Amino acid sequence: MPVATRVIPCLDVDAGRVVKGVNFENLRDAGDPVALARRYGEQGADELTFLDVTASSGDRETTYDVVRRTAEEVFIPLTVGGGVRTVADVDRLLRSGADKVGVNTAAIARPEFIDEVADRFGAQVLVLSADVRRCRPDGPPTDSGFEVTTHGGRRGTGLDALAWCAEAARRGAGEILLNSMDADGTKAGFDAELIAAVRALVDVPIIASGGAGAVEHFPPAVAAGADAVLAASVFHFGDLTIGQVKDALAAAGHAVRRSRATAAPAH
């Protein structure tokens, strides 16, 4: 069997608490990130992603603390994104216990940032996070019809999303977190058209994000070319479990990880 499709819960963290709202607005508190991370680890999550949505820089210290405490007790890969602007930010997150760092706006503002992070820490630490939507009739068109957005999808950039993903991979991004802003919050399924379009252009792994609402939404994302699937609210509010998603993927013929190992006892 090939490498397993990864199932990744995403926790939006604001000043040390998990939140998630429809289209990143109307945020609802869903608990303690460390406790949630531990629960997801026990449920069989293949990785964890923290998206730091903390607005005030003074509260960002709590993010490092949450990362540290999570890495102390959860032994699966941890990606942390949100507000990462400098090589020093990346270094500090890695030293706190993150394995990968998600970069979004800072790379759009200055694409060389991708090269700098990849050169210093290796391509595998950099997850290029792209918030993508179809071009609006009242906005500038792009060649592919998809554009990159910022500010949680509220602001278009006019940057061609497919060309941007290809450029990011060429500059050294080790993975692309592809978030469809058209699908995000709809719970109507992943954006298979977008996933397939990016898959045709890049050879780094793709994490599909946005639109998950039911187990049957996951296999089409993988069939379209996703190597991993990410969701937030459907997991946090108990609509779906990691195991149910893996059952659906396995039933569709995709490899998944099911561990039977038990933690080794300390002597």
Partner 1 sequence: MVVLDYGSGNVRSAVRMLERVGADVELTADRERALAADGLLVPGVGNFHACVDGLRAVDGEYLVEMRLAGGRPVLGICVGMQVMFETSTEPSASGPREGLGQWPGVVDRLPAQVVPHMGWNTVDVPAGSALFAGVEDERFYFVHSFAAQDWTLQPTPPFDAVAPLVTYAEHGARFVAAVENGPLWATQFHPEKSGDAGARLLRNWLDVL
- Choice from 32, 43, 60, 97 touching partner 1 (CB under 8 A): 97
Q: What is the DSSP string of 223-259?
A: HTT-SEEEESHHHHTTSS-HHHHHHHHHHTT------
Tokens for 221? 């994302």
Q: Is 71 in the site for partner 1 (CB under 8 A)?
A: yes
Q: What are the distances in angstroms from CA 119 to CA 68, 115, 116, 123?
A: 24, 6, 5, 7
Nearest to 171 by CA among 227, 109, 128: 128
Quick note: the x/- pattern for partner 1 over 234-263, rule CB under 8 A, is: -----------------------x-xxxxx
Q: φ, ψ for residue 123 (rounded to 5)?
A: -60, -30
- Choice from 175, 210, 219, 234 touching partner 1 (CB under 8 A): 175
Q: Is 147 in the site for partner 1 (CB under 8 A)?
A: no
The residues that bridge with 101 in the sheet, in sequence order, are 80, 126
Q: Is 72 in the site for partner 1 (CB under 8 A)?
A: yes
Q: Is 267 in the site for partner 1 (CB under 8 A)?
A: yes
End-to-end CA distance of the chain: 34
Looking at the annotation, which residues are catalytic? 12, 131
- Choice from 61, 65, 86, 95 touching partner 1 (CB under 8 A): 95
Pairing relation of β-strands 126-134 and 6-14?
Answer: unpaired
Which lies closer to partner 1 via its Cβ, residue 78 or residue 215? Answer: 78
Which lies closer to partner 1 via its Cβ, residue 38 or residue 134? Answer: 38
Residues 59 and 35: their CA atoms lie apart, in Å, by 20
Quick note: the x/- pattern for partner 1 over 25-64, rule CB under 8 A, is: ----------------x----x------------------
Query: In which residue are the tokens 């604001």 written?
Result: 14
Q: Is 122 in the site for partner 1 (CB under 8 A)?
A: yes
Q: How far is the CB of 139 from partner 1 (least distance, A)?
A: 32
List residues near partner 1 by CB under 8 A: 1-6, 41, 46, 68, 71-73, 75-77, 91, 94-99, 119-125, 174-175, 203-205, 227-228, 257, 259-267
